[in-house]
Structure 1
């Protein structure tokens, strides 16, 4: 189960018409809705289950620029500014802290990768810097790991997934947005090829534009329209400890563990070196496209055949507007946790920092991510369907850039100057 979020009072009923319909109540869709509402544009968010119930509440909460490809860094920089302004903008706390993020390297080869990345972003005014082992000991004391070095970005930070989506949703509602939960969108309505509305399980809503921001469900939704979006599912298992004394406020990513401080004094921990890879039909259909990404990463994927495969096969890939859609049959993707991966993460972390020897797990969960072949999201229009915009495929790192990604989508919907150059995120690149 996902961590418990702050509750939000949403609407029971959807309007008969609006200007923009946002499909998906995760952090990106909600951020876009907030921007549109602030600009006085009628917007309705339709969520098949509960807002933020999937990856938006299940992620690690990292807000980072470090490690992103150079074309993706400007979006992360814009997100930093938006995260910092959130309490004043929303009138609510989202747990944002600019405490820094550090990556560790066990080998000189790993250090070379960090150095290469630093060179690739040299003209982007980041505060990232390489670390010697002594620097790591000073910043994160009490360790016993044998590190070749590392890299740190002091301006990176964290926010709380259980607070953020709910706070953004509440602010959007206060500014005039309508958010309806448990209302799945089955398909689009079109006139002369252009979007003119959406067909939901409760009936049709007329609109001028649609923003599809439903994460791992986007591939299935678009596939029913005859549009290809290559994304594959991977599962990250996570756990939270009880409050404890820890070595640092910096979020730390080692080769086979990561940890960051939680607002209650505990830590959010995962096995950074392994992800669950439940085999599904899409792995057979488009898996070959991912081979370049996986070179040298054979240990990253823990491949298995579990209930996820059976669930996936049971969900339709084609359906009519009048038929029950897959989004009604499975309203929340709730993959099982991998206790083996969580146990590995804690053992590896305890070996590196003995302070975690007394850590007690109080909560564990898993989230399913939608991964594109280049690990970059798609934010932009579908040229073959005028009026349809995408903001999806965030590949497991969309929470940190969520506020800026939502604003970029809103900018493109409005035809205003975009917060960053949208060219790196065009669907056509895939």
Structure 2
């Protein structure tokens, strides 16, 4: 069953003529790239954003739609607090409704151990002024009264929000164009033009753009592109299946993760549903290259994913995907315009069954649509946000590990400042590129589910070797 609104067959909205030169070129039209373009344009620059397929065609429109401060890595949290403020500002000032709603988000505990993990995180919330709080079992029942089950409690953040991903990101791209950015869809960046050891331009399928600064925000494609230029990041991707229901009565206006299932109310009256604690992973060449780096994560959660032998043809880590190509050749990015994995039909049925078991008062619930996305993740479950010292002019913002949609406006603002030489306003040392090569001990951050959050708070370690 398909249903994601943005695919390779979706109409091209942005077809601007490519200039011969640009102050900054951004590679990748997800929320990170879009917001970087927006904030650069706000500074009076005219950045060029290149998207090989469609704006928000991949994970930026396929996620849960949570705008979440709760459970963030401590280094991400102040950035997310800023992003929360920027989201509200964008909604208030923009001509388009982003689907942003002040609703609150909830992590439901399945055990006393979960509760202890949530309690251990709360001091970080208090330090950054976030209103996360613990709920008793009775308070959880009052918050979500139709849910059938027994839970010891929950963590709830009233100031967290939700938005409609495939509505919000294209709307923000239009705002970036109005501010002065140039966006070109269906135009892949093939190679960086490196001269004298630094960035001199970008070779695209439509010609070369001269520039001294490039931001790579390519999501699941970042590693493939960067490695072609000798920049290696241990990045892998997992498939997550999402189901959208037909309209049903409002049983919770916000979003909640019950572990086996996560849900979010949608503006169309239905719910977006997903598994909260499991994903599918296709084993490819990168998995072997990054195995040591990911060992702490695998050790902490060995059964949090289902392993599959080979990715579909054309995917970034498929066995047949080219690792080397020239600037005058068709690149892997043109061969797969939009990373559009089929949803797991088995999981679609399981997700609907779990939702109906959780809320039996709804009766039979039908799926309006189902889709899947590839979540790019890093070994320590926090992104790379840095300038590349070995290649002046190159900056990276990738590996959001399932956290990118909500925090996107914050990192977009940061990247705009990094590129222009201004202070980013936050400590970015946790996200530095060199942590994978300087012998640093990696610390697992909160990840894609409450199980991983618990494990991350209990587990530390694993030097990358």
Shared fold, TM over 0.5? yes
Q: Secondary structure at the match of 2:397?
A: strand
Structure 1 runs (4+) deviating above 4 angstroms are: 5-8
What's the counterpart of residue 47 of structure 2?
43
Structure 1, gaps ≥5 residues long:
none
CA-CA distance at 1:46 after TM superposition: 0.7
| Alpha carbons 1:379, 1:391 under 8 Å: kept | yes
Shift of the 287–87 alpha-carbon distance from structure 1 to 2, 3 Å rule, reads: same
Q: Secondary structure at the match of 1:343?
A: helix
- Give the TM-score of the pair, scaled to structure 1: 0.96
State which drifts further: 412-421 or 223-232.
412-421
CA-CA distance at 1:8 after TM superposition: 6.9
Pair 1:257-2:272 in alignment: no
Pair 1:403-2:409 in alignment: yes
CA-CA distance at 1:307 after TM superposition: 4.5
State which drifts further: 187-196 or 16-25.
187-196
Pair 1:105-2:109 in alignment: yes
User: Aligned to 1:82, which of 62, 78, 86?
Assistant: 86
User: Aligned to 1:56, which of 48, 56, 60?
Assistant: 60
What's the counterpart of residue 204 of structure 1?
208
Pair 1:22-2:26 in alignment: yes
CA-CA distance at 1:159 after TM superposition: 0.8
Q: Deviations over 1:340-388 (max 9, x none)?
A: 2222222223222223432210100000011001111111201101001
State which drifts further: 414-423 or 159-168.
414-423
Counterpart-to-counterpart distance in 2, 1:8 and 1:132: 49
Counterpart-to-counterpart distance in 1, 2:348 and 2:306: 13
Pair 1:355-2:356 in alignment: no
User: Aligned to 2:382, which of 363, 376, 385?
Assistant: 376
What's the counterpart of residue 319 of structure 1?
325
Shift of the 58–283 alpha-carbon distance from structure 1 to 2, 3 Å rule, reads: same
| Alpha carbons 1:8, 1:166 under 8 Å: kept | no
For the aligned residues, what is the CA RMSD?
Answer: 1.7
Pair 1:185-2:186 in alignment: no
Counterpart-to-counterpart distance in 2, 1:143 and 1:197: 55
Shift of the 251–271 alpha-carbon distance from structure 1 to 2, 3 Å rule, reads: same
What's the counterpart of residue 291 of structure 1?
295
Counterpart-to-counterpart distance in 2, 1:303 and 1:394: 21
CA-CA distance at 1:16 after TM superposition: 0.7
State which drifts further: 236-245 or 189-198.
189-198
What's the counterpart of residue 3 of structure 1?
4
Structure 2, gaps ≥5 residues long:
437-465
Q: Secondary structure at the match of 2:167?
A: helix
